[in-house]
């Protein structure tokens, strides 16, 4: 991925003491006491902040938090997150109770070189989500440069991800750059064969994803609840399984389209079935064309795991979105665990580039103990999925215009 300026360009072009705004994703989950429950997003921001600090900039952090929809909502203030960031950076982090106007300007100009200030939730202003031109200009007002390090917010054309780039020299942050490079290696210019896993509950939420991937990958592994709909579309009785009967024709179209495009679709040849989705079940393993009518498919079976691992063995690159079964309740996590661990081993052996993300995928791969051994796991959710769907991301496009 090329066409954007990096932090190295920023430091070459901008003198110490300049006020630099960085768009981050500080939308982290908080507990009842205001403590951060999962600091992954803060951790990923640290490399950019350290680089800006070393260069001696006065750093303002822009972010949304929750969905206040243009109103000031005290429970959605970024003040507690500023505190958590201060602990992680090992330096005082100031907080300004507004992201524009005199409040923001005076807080930023009062910073020492290398100082950091979190500006209040951009979504307290209606102009943020409207990508309003006047609000974008106000955000840019007191700064000399803008860095976007929030890939997870890049699918939204908002003032702090998009409009602001009209008014300031714009650069790509370190985490954003790592994400774009991983995505480029996975789908932009991948080493082939390229295999994708698409799992999860429903086809209806992943139609664009299946369409785009079937045009680009060599093998498409379909698992989870959505595989049931494909099996039903092939004429198999899937018993009590989750199945979208309204999607049977769509499933057939996806399979026909994949065939004309030379993409092999791999459906689970066997399944772990049980009478209900509940803890304490002892599943029965059956062939996918022999599911008893009083049972439901809750995971891929052991033969399917062997076939999926073999597909990984013949791949150079793997893209993964969605679990292969109802992984939240053991033992229906087995196929996801075993195949994810296999992909992780091949990645560590240096024979596979593995990139995963979106929805429950991070939780499923971490549950398998495999996430840390993938080449790259995106925590971006919606932005990762939209990118996999082949949609342009306004926040990324705005970086590339520069």
Q: Under the criterion CB under 6 A, does residue 173 sit at the interface with ligand AMP?
A: no
Closest approach, Cβ 364 to ligand AMP, in A, equals 8
Q: Under the criterion CB under 6 A, does residue 325 sit at the interface with ligand AMP?
A: yes
Q: Under the criterion CB under 6 A, does residue 298 sit at the interface with ligand AMP?
A: yes
Gap between the Cα atoms of 275 and 174, Å rounded: 48
Among 224, 268, 301, 357, binds ligand AMP (CB under 6 A): 224
> Strand (E) positions, 213-333?
219-222, 264-266, 270-274, 284-287, 296-300, 317-321
Among 128, 129, 307, 360, binds ligand AMP (CB under 6 A): 360
Question: Under a CB-based contact definition with an 8 Å cutoff, are residues 58 and 113 in contact?
Answer: yes
Q: Under the criterion CB under 6 A, does residue 201 sit at the interface with ligand AMP?
A: yes
Binding mask 146-165 for ligand AMP (x = CB under 6 A): --------------------
Closest approach, Cβ 357 to ligand AMP, in A, equals 11
Stretch that binds ligand AMP, among 148-156, 157-165, 196-204, 343-351 (CB under 6 A): 196-204
Q: Under the criterion CB under 6 A, does residue 366 sit at the interface with ligand AMP?
A: no
Closest approach, Cβ 334 to ligand AMP, in A, equals 12
Stretch that binds ligand AMP, among 50-58, 87-95, 255-263, 320-328 (CB under 6 A): 320-328
Q: Under the criterion CB under 6 A, does residue 60 sit at the interface with ligand AMP?
A: no
User: Which CB, 116 or 242, lies closer to ligand AMP?
Assistant: 242
Active site residue 359: yes
For residue 364, the Cα-to-chain-centroid distance in whole angstroms is 13
Among 217, 297, 356, 368, binds ligand AMP (CB under 6 A): 297
Among 85, 139, 238, 242, binds ligand AMP (CB under 6 A): 242
Task: Tell me the two tokens of residue 26.
Answer: 């500080």
Gap between the Cα atoms of 147 and 24, Å rounded: 9
User: Which CB, 74 or 294, lies closer to ligand AMP?
Assistant: 294
> Strand (E) positions, 43-115?
58-62, 93-96
Question: Of 355, 270, 346, whose CA–CA distance to 309 is shortest?
Answer: 346
Question: Under a CB-based contact definition with an 8 Å cutoff, are residues 322 and 360 in contact?
Answer: yes
CB neighbour burial string for 251-264, b if at least 16 within 10 angstroms, e if fewer: beebbeebeeeebe
Among 322, 357, 394, 395, binds ligand AMP (CB under 6 A): 322
CB contact set of 159 (below 8 Å; sequence gap of 6+): 122, 125, 127, 128, 130, 131, 132, 135, 136, 139
Closest approach, Cβ 273 to ligand AMP, in A, equals 9
Gap between the Cα atoms of 134 and 248, Å rounded: 48
Question: Of 277, 274, 266, whose CA–CA distance to 286 is shortest?
Answer: 274
Integer angstrom CA distances of residue 226 from 28, 238, 246, 296, 365: 30, 12, 12, 13, 19
Among 225, 239, 283, 394, binds ligand AMP (CB under 6 A): 225
Active site residue 202: yes
Task: Tell me the two tokens of residue 273.
Answer: 């079935």
Catalytic option among 202, 216, 240, 264: 202
User: Which CB, 218 or 360, lies closer to ligand AMP?
Assistant: 360
Pairing between strand 270-274 and 296-300?
Answer: antiparallel
Question: Under a CB-based contact definition with an 8 Å cutoff, are residues 315 and 219 in contact?
Answer: yes
Question: Under a CB-based contact definition with an 8 Å cutoff, are residues 248 and 233 in contact?
Answer: yes
Stretch that binds ligand AMP, among 153-161, 198-206, 251-259, 285-293 (CB under 6 A): 198-206
111 pairs with which residues across the strands?
none
User: Which CB, 104 or 297, lies closer to ligand AMP?
Assistant: 297
Binding mask 81-120 for ligand AMP (x = CB under 6 A): ----------------------------------------
Q: Under the criterion CB under 6 A, does residue 205 sit at the interface with ligand AMP?
A: yes
Task: Tell me the two tokens of residue 237.
Answer: 């009785």
Active site residue 239: no
What's the full length of the chain, in residues?
Answer: 402
Q: Under the criterion CB under 6 A, does residue 40 sit at the interface with ligand AMP?
A: no
Q: Which residues are near ligand AMP by CB under 6 A?
A: 200-202, 205, 224-225, 242, 297-298, 322-323, 325-328, 359-360
Q: Catalytic residue positions?
A: 41, 202, 359, 382
């Amino acid at each position: 991925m090329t066409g954007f300026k990096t932090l190295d360009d920023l430091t070459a072009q901008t003198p110490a003491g300049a006020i630099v705004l960085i768009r981050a994703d500080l939308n982290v989950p908080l507990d009842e006491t205001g403590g951060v429950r999962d600091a992954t997003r803060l951790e990923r921001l640290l490399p950019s902040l350290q680089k800006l600090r070393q260069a001696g900039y006065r750093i303002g952090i822009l972010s949304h938090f929750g969905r206040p929809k243009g109103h000031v909502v005290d429970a959605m203030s970024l003040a507690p997150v500023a505190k958590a960031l201060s602990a992680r950076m090992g330096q005082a982090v100031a907080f300004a109770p507004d992201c524009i106007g005199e409040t923001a300007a005076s807080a930023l100009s009062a910073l020492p070189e290398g100082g950091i200030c979190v500006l209040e939730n951009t979504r307290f202003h209606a102009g943020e989500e409207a990508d309003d031109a006047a609000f974008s200009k106000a955000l840019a007002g007191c700064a000399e440069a803008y860095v976007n390090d929030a890939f997870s917010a890049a699918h939204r054309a908002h003032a702090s991800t998009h409009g602001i780039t009209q008014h300031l020299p714009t650069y790509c942050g370190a985490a954003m750059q790592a994400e774009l490079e991983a995505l480029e290696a996975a789908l932009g210019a991948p080493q082939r064969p390229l295999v994708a896993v698409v799992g999860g509950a429903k086809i209806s939420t992943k139609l664009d994803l299946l369409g785009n991937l079937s045009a680009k990958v060599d093998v498409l592994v379909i698992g989870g609840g959505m595989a049931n709909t494909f099996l039903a579309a092939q004429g198999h009785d899937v018993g009590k399984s989750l199945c979208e009967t309204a999607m049977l024709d769509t499933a057939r179209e996806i399979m026909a389209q994949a065939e004309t495009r030379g993409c092999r679709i791999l459906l689970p040849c066997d399944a772990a079935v049980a009478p209900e989705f509940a803890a304490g079940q002892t599943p029965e393993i059956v062939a996918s064309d022999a599911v008893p009518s009083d049972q439901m498919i809750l995971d891929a079976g052991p033969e399917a795991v062997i076939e999926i691992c073999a597909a990984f063995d013949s791949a150079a690159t793997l893209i993964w979105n969605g679990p292969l079964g109802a992984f939240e309740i053991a033992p229906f996590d087995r196929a996801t665990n075993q195949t994810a661990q296999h992909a992780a081993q091949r990645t560590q052996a240096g024979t596979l580039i593995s990139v995963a993300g979106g929805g429950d995928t991070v939780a499923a791969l971490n549950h398998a103990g495999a996430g840390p051994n993938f080449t790259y796991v995106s925590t971006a959710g919606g932005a990762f999925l939209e990118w996999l769907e082949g949609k342009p991301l306004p926040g990324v496009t705005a970086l590339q215009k520069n």
